[in-house]
Chains A and B, each alone.
Chain A
Amino acid sequence: MISLSNSPVKSDLLAGYPLGLAFDEMFERDHTVRPHYEPLFRKLASLSPEEFRRRKGMTDLSMLQDGVGFTVYRQEEGIERIWPMDPIPRIIPAKEWAHIERGLVQRLEALNLFLKDIYNDQKILRDKLIDPRLIFEGTYFRREFVGAKVPRDIYIHVCGSDLIRAADGTYCVLEDNGRTPSGVSYMLTNRQVLKRVFPQLFEGYDVRTTDDYPAALLDVLRYISPVRHADTTCVLLSPGIFNSAYFEHSFLAQRMGIELVEGRDLVIDNNRVFMRTTRGLTRVDVIYRRIDDDFIDPVTFRSESILGVPGLVNAYRAGNIALANGIGTGIADDKGIYPFVPDMIKYYLKQDPILPNVETYRPLVPSQRDHVLKNLDKLVVKCVNESGGYGMLIGPHSTAAQREEFRAAILANPRDYIAQPTIQLSTHPTFVDGKIEGRHVDLRPFILCGEKITIVPGALTRVALPKGSLVVNSSQGGGSKDTWVLAEE
């Protein structure tokens, strides 16, 4: 057993690694290295800060030259930034992963049953498990789709659920992203870059490959196709190069070998979808769409949208085109519905939830509202309609003015807010300013639902780079890490 203090090698990089209140992924409370991190620890301890800085520079350059980045759109010219990757990988042992996998499969199964129910019989409402107002007043509920038949009864085909670890190391689900979750391209490129820049780190580990993801996604798309022939045409619909996730769109389209199309490339004729090619119009059967519901069809949703395809929704309703994800899935990842997911699991599957939710207070319930308002300085308050780290109050880091603002907002619209205890998120050794220090991380695995529910063994680990920060979003100073799922011993 090795620890920071009795380590056979003296490390300048890791000297004085501080442990906070949070669970640390590499070290036990007494600075003992967790067994699955030992080979990596030895490797890190043998590197000088200069050497490490050089490798970090190589990862940055590699990311820049590959164009692995997101666009911050401002004024005329999009400003391109790379999303920094920290070269120290996050490691998940086989047993932990098996637990996560079981929990997420169970969760997505329940979410899809919930969506089928909500858009058809609405039994869960009649059985009074969920207040119908929560559904019908939800921003992402699409009443136009009640009663609509969707291919194979699958609504969410691609789900990115965010997991965090409590102080005792328990994995909890913080939120589900069931609309157009992004980040999987970073999961894949982080591995490519790390293998290129730091192959030595992999010594002593059997890391499971994530390379199969694009093929698995394509299988899902083919499975939901309305046509049964082998050469069904799938496309990826992107808002275009100014979208912050454009890199991911082009990456996935290329890896799946399907066309990346924009709204202007598609045309609807007689409720059928075609793309404009140099030889004329070609029929399209399945669209992996990376455009939100609101923008996908100006005829049905926001009429000012120029990104979408007029008439697409009617073609979908007519059963001539399959969409992944389906329309209206946002009601399942609505933060106001999130507290009910464990109940859904029990209701639809008659099982106990494998992965717990984070304890959540709903200001809509009077007793909980009082608790929230009294403890604004201790809680994290989230607006249910926002994502990307916006519309959030982190109590312990907030000012009195911010708390007042949220108090007023909560009183005005209690349905729009939820509150959770400030969870420290686990920390992970991260290279910052020439040293290795602990930074808070989360975990986003990508779950696919086709013929069955599968998860590629890997995930996106997002890391909050500013010291003490709990916000891991790329738009808020976050970075990412390669995430290793280890093979069974």
Chain B
Amino acid sequence: MLSRVADALFWMSRYIERSEHVARMLDVSFNLELDLSAVVPGSYDLHWMGLLNAMQQPASVVERYPDSSRRDALMQWFTFDGNNPHSISSCVTRSRANARGVRGSIPNEVWKELNKLYWQLRDEDFKKRATESPSEYYGAVEEGSHAVQGMCDALMAHDEGWQFIQLGKFLERFFITVRFVDVHNELLRELTDPADLPLANLHWAGVLRCCAGYHAYQRMHVGRVEPGRVLDLLLLNPGVPRSARFCLEAALKSLADMYGEGLSRRRTESKCERLLGKALSDLRYADLNALAATTDGLHIFLTDLLDRCTEASLALQEMYSV
């Protein structure tokens, strides 16, 4: 397969996955805001801060919209603003542009779905729904992403090209999930007072929802949402497709399958595989409780993990641009 095609499939997949995460985070945040304001007025600021930090955006972006409330400013910035490379609009546009460059390599249905989403999000009437009924707007983005990924799984040969799509999807999901967990763990660790418990609960439930892990959590645990269990589920659970461990394992499997042979039979691993493999074993055998008990312990661990996986992702791109 052409190196350019591999690159485009990888980024088509990463960008559509990113748009899905941003959409879900905004949708959950608008929802949470309504709940939180009844608990402690103004407390939802904490959640918006989490969103900004997780997407590595400075708080100053709200100053770009002097006439808007903080909430509306963030909505604009993360939904429509072309200056924000992580806005839904930017992500969907880039995902589609990558798909357009390789239309011959993806099923027509996948292209049509992405193209449909692109035009829907540019429709002026539909844009208004981002404020009028956010869940409808953001829901469409999430559904579009699921449809695209689902069609790739159901319609494509699971060959090299498909593996690049998997790599894009799982690496992107890994990065966003780990960053989101890290940022919220930092923000919420201050809430130790028993009086803050309802607030902390709502927030941790919000974290689960943002990472699409709420349903899985409920199936596993009864009762209130507990921080330790959330961390365990989103970072270590081997069976939940939203967890960091699951994502790394899936990415490694794609790398191994890409050349049609099992990991064990390969004599040498690529740099990308080595880096991801080491990161995965550190994560698998990490003692989360011990890390979370120390100041910054978990933060330092996760930051290091993210750095190494970023390096792996760069190594991947070097690998296919022969």
Q: Which residues of A contact B (CB under 8 A)?
A: 64-67, 240-241, 246, 250-251, 253-254, 259-262, 264-265, 275-281
Contact = CB atoms under 8 A, between A and B. Distances in A.
B2 A261 contact: yes
Contacts of A241: 97, 100-101
A67 B96 CA distance: 11
B101 A278 contact: no
Contacts of B171: none
Interface string B93-132: 0000100111110001001100110010000000000000
A258 B322 CA distance: 21
Interface in B1-25: 1-6
A264 B2 CA distance: 11
B33 interface: no
B104 A250 contact: yes
Interface string B304-322: 0000000000000000111
A65 B322 contact: no
A274 to B, nearest CB: 11
Task: Determine the interface band of chain B, counting residues with CB < 8 A from chain A.
Answer: 20 to 34
A144 B306 CA distance: 57
B1 A65 contact: no
B322 A280 contact: yes
Contact of A265 (B2, B100, B160): B2
Nearest to A256: B104
Contact of B3 (A251, A254, A278): A278
Contact of A253 (B6, B104, B119): B104
Interface in B271-312: none
Contact of B322 (A261, A264, A278): A278
Contacts of A276: 2-4, 321-322
Contacts of A259: 2, 5, 104
Interface of B: 1-6, 97, 100-104, 108, 111-112, 115-116, 119, 160, 320-322
A176 B1 CA distance: 36
A251 B100 CA distance: 11
A65 B112 contact: yes
Contacts, number: 59
A254 B104 contact: yes
Contacts of B100: 67, 241, 246, 250
A246 B111 CA distance: 15
Contacts of A64: 115, 119
A484 B2 CA distance: 38
Secondary structure type dominating chain A contacts = mixed
A361 to B, nearest CB: 45
A250 B102 CA distance: 7
Contacts of B321: 276
A65 B116 CA distance: 5
Given A67-B112, A246-B100, 7 more contacts: A265-B3, A275-B2, A276-B2, A276-B4, A277-B2, A278-B2, A278-B6
B95 to A, nearest CB: 14
A77 to B, nearest CB: 9
A265 B112 CA distance: 26
Contact of B115 (A65, A240, A253, A275): A65
A108 B111 CA distance: 37
A264 B4 contact: yes
Contacts of A261: 2
B115 A67 contact: yes
A65 B104 CA distance: 16
Contacts of B3: 265, 276-278
A117 B320 CA distance: 47
Contacts of A265: 2-4
Contacts of A278: 1-3, 6, 160, 320, 322
Contacts of B6: 278
6 contacts: A65-B119, A67-B100, A67-B112, A240-B101, A277-B322, A278-B2
A265 B8 CA distance: 13
A240 B100 CA distance: 10
B116 to A, nearest CB: 5
Contacts of A66: 108, 112, 115
Contacts of A251: 103
A250 B100 CA distance: 8
Contacts of A279: 322
Nearest to A280: B322
A254 B103 contact: yes
Nearest to B96: A67
Contacts of A264: 4
Contacts of A280: 322
A276 B104 CA distance: 17
A196 B128 CA distance: 32
B268 to A, nearest CB: 16
Nearest to B97: A241
Nearest to B118: A67
Among B4, B97, B111, find the residue whose CB has the most chain A CB atoms closer than 10 A: B4
Contacts of A65: 112, 115-116, 119
Nearest to A258: B104
A260 B104 contact: yes
A79 to B, nearest CB: 12
A275 B4 CA distance: 10
A203 B109 CA distance: 28
Nearest to B5: A259
A67 B322 CA distance: 31
